Chains A and B, each alone.
Chain A
Amino acid sequence: MARKCITTERGFKMSKDFIRNNIRRLRFNADEMTQQELADRVGASRQTIVAIEKGKYSPSLELAFKIALTFEVPIGDVFSYEPENK
């Protein structure tokens, strides 16, 4: 079974497939929203937001939607998926 794979804008790679996120950029565009502010809004800890940004944690669908709703963008603008062989 292929393992889930995560990478970010920073190029962090965990496995074969890629889930990229734009949270850092979206926070910047939202008046430099802090990680703590985002965490409070989506009901997660700051460490979890840090882990998602670094690609060390792949959030649940619910949390991913909450993040997208916070920035008022479609979920595809926050997270994108690219298989390795593409």
Chain B
Amino acid sequence: MSYREKENIVNIFSTLLITSVFAWKVYQKHLAGSIELNDNFQTWGIVFLIFAGVSIVARIVIYIIFHIINAIATREEDIPKEDERDKLIKLKATRNSHYTFSVGFFLAIIALAIGWPTYWLFILFVISGVISELIDNGSQMYYYRKGV
């Protein structure tokens, strides 16, 4: 398995791990009454910003750990440089990811239009964000395996 494929697998697991842990923590705080998420846009904004920060830091830590473990296991310290095939694969994966998020965004708007509570807008944003991230990494793995 190539470095890029392993990197994508790590990304998939880190996306699922970070999002599920963060969502669980926020939900527990909501149940305990320490934060009010129902229709409070300001709280949602704060939660999203904290999530962005936590997600970036956690990904950096996970990536460093992955690189160290990979270097020990394969005895290859250098990260393979990105060439035209890598860029093309990333571009196609990003396209697939954006299509997925667009569908999620559209569904969130439909949910608002049919009268679902406003907080569903944000929940659907998070879900479509996670799915689009998985599609991104999954597409990359597919293109690396099957060809582009």
Contact = CB atoms under 8 A, between A and B. Distances in A.
B147 interface: yes
Contact of A57 (B2, B4, B80, B85): B85
Q: Which DSSP category, helix, strand, loop or mixed, fits chain A's interface?
A: loop
B2 A47 contact: yes
A45 B85 contact: yes
Scoring B84, B85, B148 by chain A CB atoms within 10 A of each residue's CB, the highest score goes to: B85
A61 to B, nearest CB: 11
B77 to A, nearest CB: 16
Interface residues of A, number: 16
Interface string B126-148: 00000000000000000010111
B147 A44 contact: no
Given A56-B146, A56-B147, A57-B147, A44 B2 contact: no
B81 interface: yes
A45 B147 contact: no
A51 B147 contact: yes
Given A14-B147, A56-B146, A57-B148, A47 B84 contact: no
Interface in A1-56: 6, 14, 43-45, 47-48, 51, 54-56
Nearest to A56: B147
A62 B2 CA distance: 24
A63 B84 contact: yes
A62 to B, nearest CB: 8
A74 interface: no
A64 to B, nearest CB: 11
B85 A51 contact: yes
Given A47-B2, A47-B4, A56 B148 contact: yes
Contacts of B86: 45, 48
A60 B80 contact: no
6 contacts: A43-B83, A44-B83, A47-B4, A54-B147, A56-B147, A60-B84
Interface of B: 2, 4, 80-81, 83-86, 144, 146-148
Interface of A: 6, 14, 43-45, 47-48, 51, 54-57, 59-60, 62-63
